[in-house]
Amino acid sequence: MSGNIRLLTDTLAAAKAEGRSALVAYLPAGFPTVDGGIEAIKAVLDGGADVVEVGLPHSDPVLDGPVIQTADDIALRGGVKIADVMRTVREAHQATGKPILVMTYWNPIDRYGVERFTAELAEAGGAGCILPDLPVQESALWREHAEKHGLATVFVVAPSSKDKRLAEITAAGSGFVYAASLMGVTGTRESVGTQAQNLVERTRATTELPVCVGLGVSNAAQAAEVAGFADGVIVGSAFVKRMLDAPDDAAGVEAVRALAGELARGVRRQV
C-alpha cells in the first residue's frame, strides 16, 4: 500500500496554479474525543482547508504553545493511542479525498517502530509526516521507510537556520518545507513578523519544494499577508482555540468550519 505524497504535491501545485497559497490546517487527534476530532478535521477540510496535519498528542511538546498543549492533554487523558491517530487519518481522507499528514515528535515513532508506523500510515491513506524534532543527520532510517511507502518527509526550518543548514534540510525533505515564521512555540500572534518572508526567500534559494509558513497565523488578514510570499499558510492554534472556547463539541465543529472558510478567503486574498 502506497501513501499519498503524490496527492499532497498535486494539491499544492493546484493551489499555485490558481495563483494562491494552500491552506494547511492543524488539529490534534483525540481532541476533544477521537470521534469529535475526526468530525472537526472533516469540517475544516469541508470549510476550505486544502491539507490537514493531524497532531499525534505528546506529553512533552517542545514546539507547541499552551493552546495546543491543553488540547494534547485532553486527548492524552482520554487515552488516545497511535491506532486512533491512524483511524483519524483514514476517516478524514476517505471522507474528503484530501491529503492528510501526521505531525509528531520522534519518540512515539521510535517506540512504535519506524516500519510499522510508516506502513500503517500509508495503509490509512496518509500523505506523510512533519517531524519537528528529528535531526536531518539522524533521519536516514525514517526517510528510507517513508520513501518505500510513498510518504512525504516534511522538515521544519527556522529563522535561525543558516543557509548551509537550510540546504541540508531541504535536500533531505519531500512534500514541502515547513518554515517556522518565528523563534518560539506555536500560538496566535498579533502579527506574523518580517522574519517569515526572509526565511521563505532563503529557503526557496535552496529547493524547488513548496515552502509553507506556520506559527502565528490566526485570522484572514494574516493569512492573506503570508499568502503574499508563501506557497502555503499553516494554521493550528487558532483552530484549537475555537474548539476550546466552544460551549460544546457540535459548536466547536461549526466554529472550525467557519474559521476554515475565513482563512480560505484569506489565502485567496479576498479580505
* pTM, full prediction: 0.94
Cell of 66: 499552551
pLDDT digits (tens, 9 = 90+) for 170-217: 999 999 999 997 644 444 444 556 788 999 999 999 999 999 998 788
DSSP assignment, residue 118? Answer: H
Confidence class for position 1, pLDDT limits 50, 70, 90: low
Sequence-distant (6+) residues with CB within 8 A of 206 are: 163, 166, 167, 170, 171
Closest to 46 in 3D by CA, of 259, 231, 248: 259
For residue range 239-268, what is the model confidence (pLDDT) as tens digits?
A: 999 999 999 999 999 999 999 999 999 999
> In the prediction, which pLDDT does 185 show?
41
Which 3 state secondary structure label does DSSP give 213? strand
| Whether residue 72 has pLDDT greater than 70 | yes
Residue 193's pLDDT is 61
Contact 101, 127 (CB under 8 A): yes
Residue 206, C-alpha cell as written in the block:
535552496
What does the pLDDT average to over 13-35?
97
Percentage of the chain exceeding pLDDT 90: 84
Rg of the chain over Cα atoms, rounded to whole angstroms, equals 17
- DSSP secondary-structure letter at 155? P
For residue 58, the model assigns a pLDDT of: 86
What count of other Cβ atoms lies within 10 Å of the Cβ of residue 270? Answer: 10
Q: Tell me the per-residue pLDDT of 45-64, one tens digit each, with 9 for 90 and over.
A: 999 999 999 999 987 655 66
pLDDT tens for each residue of 98-127 = 999 999 999 999 999 999 999 999 999 999
Residue pair 22/12 in contact (Cβ under 8 Å)? The answer is: yes
Q: What per-residue confidence (pLDDT) applies to 237?
A: 93
Residue numbers annotated as active site: 53, 64
